[in-house]
Amino acid sequence: MLTWMGIILTVVVLALLAKSAMRTSGVAAGTAHARKTGELGALVAAIETTPYSEQATQWDQAIGELWQSYAREEATRLVMEAAERSDADIIQYWIRQVLEVEPEIASEHFTQEFLEEHFQPEVAAKCGRTGCCG
């Protein structure tokens, strides 16, 4: 009886790990596609299919990958997509990053209306890639 329970538990754990890996690979594939083509639809869809509790991390990782690979326009557009769909504090960090590091790109993409609706400077000032303080 104990052996069967161990086998069943192992199968369940492996199934959950496989499901998680497939979801992550969807985001990774979407990020690679966005970097190559500039198209964000598949990436946004992949992030939106992840559980809500994981979406802030997925937004951050996808934006961060695009940003680090100097796909700054795509990263900026993804920040805008994220801001429309999430109120996660990490989005505030990314809006601030674009404004400070790439002001030209920010002025091309961030309208005054977008900033008024989505940017919270007081939150952004407390946030970094490792989290938000206070």
Domain positions in the chain are 2-132
Q: What is the pLDDT of residues 10-64, one digit of tens each?
A: 655 444 444 444 444 689 999 999 999 999 999 999 999 999 999 999 999 999 9
80 has a pLDDT exceeding 60: yes
pLDDT: is 91 or 133 the higher one? 91
The predicted model gives 110-131 an average pLDDT of 91
> 54 near 62, Cβ under 8 Å?
no
Residues near 47 by Cβ (< 8 Å), separated by ≥ 6?
A: 27, 30, 55, 58, 59, 62, 82
According to the model, what pLDDT value does residue 15 have?
A: 46
**The most confident of 2-11, 16-25, 111-120, by mean pLDDT:** 111-120
Question: Given the structure tokens 């069943």, which residue do they identify?
Answer: 8
Q: For residues 72, 77, 82 and 88, what is the CA-based torsion angle, rounded to 10 degrees? A: 40
According to the model, what pLDDT value does residue 47 have?
A: 97
Radius of gyration of the chain (CA): 18
According to the model, what pLDDT value does residue 120 have?
A: 96
Q: With bands split at pLDDT 50, 70 and 90, how would you rate the model's confidence at 3?
A: confident
According to the model, what pLDDT value does residue 26 have?
A: 84
Share of the chain above pLDDT 90, in %: 72
Residue 131 host element (H or E): strand 131-132
Contacts of range 33-41, beta carbons closer than 8 Å, 24 or more positions apart: 34/62, 34/66, 34/71, 34/74, 34/78, 35/65, 35/66, 35/69, 35/71, 35/74, 38/73, 38/74, 40/74, 40/77, 40/78, 40/81
Q: What is the pLDDT of residues 60-75, one digit of tens each?
A: 999 999 999 999 999 9
